Structure 1
Amino acid sequence: MYQEAFANADAGLAVLAPDGAWLAANAALSRRLGRPVSGLVGTRAHASVFDAATARRIDAALSGGEVPRGILVQHGDGRAWRLTATPLAQGLLLQLDDAPGATVERMQDHLTHGISHDLRAPLRGIAGFAARLEESGAVADAGMADVARIRAAATRAERLVDGLLELLRASRQPLREQEVDVSLLCEWVAAELGDADPDRAARVDIAPGLMARGDEHWLKVMLGHVLGNAWKFSALCERVEIHVEGQAVDGRLQLAVHDAGCGFDMRYADKLFVPFQRLHGPEQGGGNGLGLAIALQVAERHGGRLRGSSRPGGGSTFFIDLPAATGRDPDEHHDA
């Protein structure tokens, strides 16, 4: 009876052995994945049919870690499902249902396209016409300040559009898994921050040999926002001071990014990673409220975590947990 229920269930089901090998899969799962049952059973199929972060979460659950429940997973062709795992006496039961948010995913695609094209065009038009007015001499001196405000507002709006697009892409784009030199990425980000603000006195210390496993591009994006925040919120300090340290523990790379900036009140720490929530004003370096939301998306999609600790006037420390480098060939695995 149980075998018949498993075989004929509407939900996609698979039974995994403790070592991750798929022992059984039903027809509904085969249809969803577009692969025959014979191509799934006897392999660690989750390593190739799901994104890298989801595969790592399944492996962690097999080892007694946190069990994925109702998480959204995506195939490389854009299909989305809801994945739930249930521990068995030996191994794991995976259940794959059609994601009720599939329509939302399509709406996000349309939204991304609209933001990228339809919203950018009028903003560029506003900035362009304001520049022409400024250069033409048609505006009296008394009105030039207003023209400058128009240009500045259009620039801020374009940056906000860039941030929104990056937030959407950070939550959706497939990740490429490889060995990543985090120390080198931090040095790269620090150099870019220094080039953009060359008159700022700064000291950035980065521990060598910090190696993670993940998508190099998106890890740089994450570090760019975390280190960028440390730089921005040191605006009122005599000089920027940032220290990056870390260590590999039980297969995880644990990073800490310290700064000596203005800090924040931990009573409002729950707002740190919420889009458009700002704990500081522009005079202290506050931006559009999207940077840490993007950084958190990247960390979580790598199966990691990001949190902050601080006190007003006492600097801040952001702790990042990522998969550590394994020593495997960086090109041996790619997302499905």
Structure 2
Amino acid sequence: MRGVVDTKPTSLYRLAFESADAGLAVLSPQGEWLLVNAALAALAGQPAAALQGQRAHRQVFEPAVADAIDALLAAPAQACAPRLVLESGADAAAGPARRIVLSPLPGDGGALLLRCDDLTAERAHHLREQDSATLQEYLAHGLSHELRAPLRSIAGFAARLDETGQVAADGRPDLERIRAAAARADQLVQALLEFLRASRQPMRQEPVDVSLLCEWVAAELQDRDRGRAARIEVAPGLWARGDEHWIKVLLREVFDNAWKFSADRDEVRITVEGAVSDGRLQLAVTDHGCGFDMRYADKLFLPFQRLHGSNQGGGHGLGLAIARRVAECHGGSIRAESRPGQGSTFFIELPAASPGAGAEPGQ
């Protein structure tokens, strides 16, 4: 059975102070620590009683931080900033990484509330992200230069052999297979580069005419495959907020998926509908292709996880992974529903925008 809680405001405030996850202390106008909670005592590595009644910031924080606190305490009240934010441990050798915030407490007494947060985990995460970004840069460079160069050489020498006629007639099919394999490998490298770029490049924030982009992507597909009959229906007035280039990439991958898996149909049919709800654009891109078994839907957006073979239109296995990465980088999402033989619908959610709303400040 729980005990009885004192519901007096003063008692509740004291309880909240003591149980807060952040390190908290109340400082007098002269800098003595009047109250210290358990979280701050743990960060300081000393009992709360050893810190109270002392100008403990001189022993808890590095000299530069302690000097800044002393300067704030010594400044006239009218000249003080309403809030002072300091960080320690920028250099790992200087001590623990912490953020210290001092704010005046209400009233005329001049007391200050000190909050101290441990930044060690946050900075370690930031360093890991920096290391990952650097690794991706090296990987992208290697893919773009070190891997594509030999692929171009293979394709070039195969073309030269074909042009000079040095390969006998019965060997020409193998020569064509070499050239086709080199071309597929180059397409895979390009897709990998796009996946890496989508993962690390910042996305612009501006109004994007999604209806226009859908028409644009459809026109490019029809131009690329002029022998296919196609009926593309796109709802007008669909606008999202984001990066026009990358939203086009997302739509291109979804449309291309519909195009490939409609290979056994007399006509490619793609319908795009959309609505805005709670500031989010909800798109539905429906095709009438071969569809897929929903038991394997969790693999659909993973790199290199193909639900169909190349004879059914399966590609390099990165297109929908790129689409998902772009959607997530915009704070959105993508999922699919399907039934074998009855087509698929891709549901895409993005931040909504209005025509002519302009870019976000600072973009």
Q: Normalising TM by the smaller chain, what interval?
A: 0.7 to 0.9
- 8 A Cα contact 1:123 1:158, kept in partner: yes
Deviations 1:145-199 (A, max 9, x none): 1110000000000000000000000000111110000000000000000000001
Query: Letter of the aligned partner of 2:86 in structure 1?
Result: A
What's 1:255 paired with? 283
Give the whole-Å Cα distance in 1 for the aligned partners of 2:336 and 2:135: 32
Structure 2 residue matching 1:2: 3-state secondary structure: strand
Give the whole-Å Cα distance in 2 for the aligned partners of 1:233 and 1:223: 16
- 8 A Cα contact 2:61 2:88, kept in partner: no
What's 1:98 paired with? 126
Q: 1:307 to 1:24 in 2, by over 3 A?
A: farther
Give the whole-Å Cα distance in 2 for the aligned partners of 1:141 and 1:157: 25
Q: Which has the larger radius of gyration?
A: 2
Q: 1:332 to 1:236 in 2, by over 3 A?
A: same
What's 1:28 paired with? 87
What's 1:209 paired with? 237
Once the two structures are superposed, the pairs formed by residues 163-178 of structure 1 within 5 Å of their partners are 163-178=191-206
Once the two structures are superposed, the pairs formed by residues 104-115 of structure 1 within 5 Å of their partners are 104-115=132-143
What's 2:308 paired with? 280
Asked if residue 191 in structure 1 is aligned to residue 219 in structure 2, the reply is yes
What's 2:24 paired with? 2
Higher relative contact order (CA 8 A, sep 6+): 1
CA displacement at 1:120 relative to structure 2: 0.6
Structure 2 residue matching 1:295: 3-state secondary structure: helix
Query: Letter of the aligned partner of 2:269 in structure 1?
Result: E
What's 1:305 paired with? 333
Gap runs ≥5 in structure 2: 1-22, 27-39, 44-56, 63-81, 92-98, 104-119
Query: Letter of the aligned partner of 2:149 in structure 1?
Result: A
Gap runs ≥5 in structure 1: 11-22, 42-80, 84-94
Asked if residue 314 in structure 1 is aligned to residue 342 in structure 2, the reply is yes
Once the two structures are superposed, the pairs formed by residues 89-168 of structure 1 within 5 Å of their partners are 98-168=126-196
Query: Letter of the aligned partner of 2:237 in structure 1?
Result: G
Identity %: 59
Query: Letter of the aligned partner of 1:135 in structure 2?
Result: E
CA displacement at 1:238 relative to structure 2: 1.0
Give the whole-Å Cα distance in 2 for the aligned partners of 1:140 and 1:310: 48
Structure 2 residue matching 1:262: 3-state secondary structure: coil
CA displacement at 1:328 relative to structure 2: 6.8
CA displacement at 1:137 relative to structure 2: 0.6
Give the whole-Å Cα distance in 2 for the aligned partners of 1:121 and 1:9: 55
Q: 1:3 to 1:141 in 2, by over 3 A?
A: farther
CA displacement at 1:106 relative to structure 2: 1.2
What's 1:325 paired with? 353
- CA RMSD after TM alignment: 2.8
Deviations 1:69-103 (A, max 9, x none): xxxxxxxxxxxx987xxxxxxxxxxx995343432
| TM-score (norm. length: structure 2) | 0.68
Deviations 1:84-140 (A, max 9, x none): xxxxxxxxxxx9953434322211110000000010100000000000000101110
What's 1:291 paired with? 319
How many residues align? The count is 266
| TM-score (norm. length: structure 1) | 0.73
CA displacement at 1:327 relative to structure 2: 5.9
Deviations 1:244-273 (A, max 9, x none): 000011100000000000000000001001
